[in-house]
Amino acid sequence: MQSFEINKEDLERVKTALESDDAELEKVLQEYHASEIAILFEKLPVEAREKIINILPSDIASEVIAEMHEEQDAGELLISLDPEKRSEIIEELDYDDATDIISQLDEDEQQEILEDLDHEDATNIRALLSYAEDTAGGLMNSEVIKINIKLNKKEALDEIIRQSEEMEEFYTIYVVDDADILQGILSIKSIIKAPAFAKVKDLFVDDFVYVRAELDQEEVAGLISQYNLTTIPVVDDKMKLLGRITVDDIMDVMEQESTEDILKISGVSEDEELSGNWKDAIKSRLPWLVINLGTAYLAASIIRHFDSTVALLPQIAAYMTIIAGMGGNAATQSLAVTVRRISLSDLTDAQAYNTVVKEFLVGLLNGAANGLIVFIIALFYDADPMLGLVLFLAMTGNLVIAGLTGSSIPLVLKRVGIDPAVASSIIITTFTDCAGFLLPLWLATKLLLHHH
């Protein structure tokens, strides 16, 4: 969606059109897709948004409002419109999108909007408002195509045609009994290909994936991607059909969840989000930076301890930073892979053990390969094969430590119930920095200075 970049010309054209008459504005707006108008909204003041929404036909206006980012308060925009236009726009929206927007408003504003809607729409939206936002119920759309299990092919097709009038698109037909209990699913293809006298009960599939309304959105996303579904039905405890979640709703969830995880890995808490203000940013990051400062002092104290070695071998100082830095990078790689593994599935003990062993081997081989390069450089630059050996061993050792800590620390944190995405990176850099300084200095002291 973000492939449309706001360039100055587009923005200027729209601003100029806003100042001239309505007919001109309408003409300019016709050249943009709804999602592009939503992106232009980011750079326009509130009055301009209202004016544009009022001029657009309701079906386009509803698409623009559905595409607006959460921070942009689509709800406030709806409240400001006159009730008739507002109701028209909401009736064009999918129930799940309408609910997301209305849920951002306070109680009395929600009531004001719902009272103007026709009864069926209001009832559906009220039902959806009762679910928590990050659950299957909060994601689902209650508009579904459902047919009774007793129907024959002709009745079923008539029913599908009748119900699909209202809907933009549908992939799956749900088969229910008289009490609305979900019996199974029917694909459009199977009903179209069926012989004329076929009955629904002989065509539908009763082995299907479904979710309960209270399931967390991240698990819904997991199921949809695991089974490659375009849509998944939502049911209550008695298997009564409540609605469906389509893959486009899940794309947004995956984006949210991955933003949360990326922010956490860099030690930024999700309270901050991408558009947070500076106070939140400091509150969520400063504590981690202070902890980091402490660990940096720990690493520095190691160098202090080996002052005499640094004095006798000044070139070692340059190599240490390389070894510590490489360890940090290798650990981050190993951490990213492990946190991703954990987030995709809870690892069993055996899987966790295998992950650590794999990362140990990767660290050993990568360490040896990089150690060899450093060894060759030391031979050429410093003409000192022993220094080369020290650096080879230190590099190999630190990348092994990186692999071991990068994979085991998130697993340990997960076991004790701390979020591995947040705390891991700080603990791991402590290890690789300290080892990155300690290994070359200690090895140099033992092998080089005694040997010299």
HEC string of 146-177 equals EEECCCEHHHHHHHHHHHHCCCCCCCEEEEEC
Q: What is the pLDDT of residue 326?
A: 92
The per-residue pLDDT for 277 is 72
Whole-number pLDDT of residue 2: 47
Q: Model confidence over 270-281: pLDDT tens digits? A: 555 566 677 877
Residue 185: CB partners within 8 Å, gap ≥ 6? 172, 173, 174, 175, 204, 205, 208, 233
Quick one: CA torsion of 434, 436, 442, 444, rounded to 10 degrees?
Answer: -160
C-alpha atoms less than 13 angstroms from C-alpha of 96 in its C-beta half-sphere? 26
pLDDT over 60 at 3, yes or no: no
* 15-24, 30-39, 400-409, 415-424: range with lowest mean pLDDT: 415-424
pLDDT of res. 364: 96
Q: In this predicted model, what pLDDT tens digit does every residue of 358-385 receive, in sequence order? A: 999 999 999 999 999 999 998 888 888 8
Q: Is the pLDDT of residue 191 over 60?
A: yes
Tens of pLDDT, residue by residue over 296-338, are 898 889 989 998 888 888 888 888 989 999 998 999 889 888 8
Once rounded to an integer, what is the mean pLDDT over residues 179-186? 94
> What pLDDT, on a 0 to 100 scale, did the predictor assign at position 271?
58
10 Å CB burial of residue 162 (0-12, 13-18, 19+) is exposed
Mean pLDDT of 174-185: 94
**Residue range(s) of every CATH 1.10.357.20 domain in the chain:** 278-451
Looking at residues 177-196, what average pLDDT do you find?
91
Question: CA-to-CA distance for 206 and 181, rounded, in angstroms?
Answer: 12
Which run of H or E residues covers position 182? Answer: strand 182-187
pLDDT over 70, % of the chain: 94
> Is a pLDDT exceeding 90 seen at residue 173?
yes
pLDDT the model gives residue 401: 95
Q: State how far the Cα of 436 lies from the Cα of 318, in Å rounded to an integer.
A: 12
pLDDT value, residue 451: 58
Amino acid at 333: Q
Mean pLDDT of 72-78: 84
Task: Read off the pLDDT of each residue in 41-57 and give the average, rounded to a whole number.
Answer: 87
Q: Is the pLDDT of residue 437 over 90?
A: yes
What is residue 19's predicted lDDT score, i.e. its pLDDT?
87
- Start and end residues for every CATH 1.25.60.10 domain found in the chain: 8-130
pLDDT, residue 316, reads 87
CATH fit for domain 278-451, picks 2.60.40.1180, 3.40.50.300, 1.10.357.20, 3.30.465.10: 1.10.357.20
What's residue 227's pLDDT? 86
Domain 8-130's class?
mainly alpha
Confidence (pLDDT) at 1: 42
Phi-psi sector, 206: left (phi>0), alpha (psi -120 to 50), beta: alpha
Give the model's confidence band at 422: pLDDT under 50 very low, under 70 low, under 90 confident, else very high: low
- The pLDDT of residue 228: 85
- Of 31-40, 65-74, 205-214, 330-339, highest mean pLDDT: 205-214
Rounded to 10 deg, the angle between the 385-416 and 420-443 helix axes is 160
Tokens 């909060």 correspond to what residue? Answer: 138
Residue 136 neighbours by CB distance under 10 Å: 27
Mean pLDDT, range 379-404, rounded to an integer: 92
- pLDDT of 172: 87
Judged against a pLDDT cut of 80, whether residue 262 lies above it is answered with no
Q: Is the pLDDT reported for residue 102 higher than 80? A: yes
pLDDT value of residue 352: 84
Percent of the chain with pLDDT over 90: 30
In sequence order, what are the residues at sequence separation of 6 or more whose Cβ sits closer than 8 angstroms to the Cβ of residue 370? 326, 395, 399
Specify the higher pLDDT residue, 450 or 213.
213
Distance (Å, rounded) from C-alpha 397 to C-alpha 371? 9
10 Å Cβ neighbour count for 119? 7
Helix 119-129 with 107-116: angle, nearest 10 deg: 150
Average pLDDT, the chain: 86
* CATH, domain 146-248, list 1.20.1440.230, 3.30.2020.30, 3.10.580.10, 2.30.30.30: 3.10.580.10
pLDDT tens across 151-172, in order?
999 999 999 999 988 777 777 8
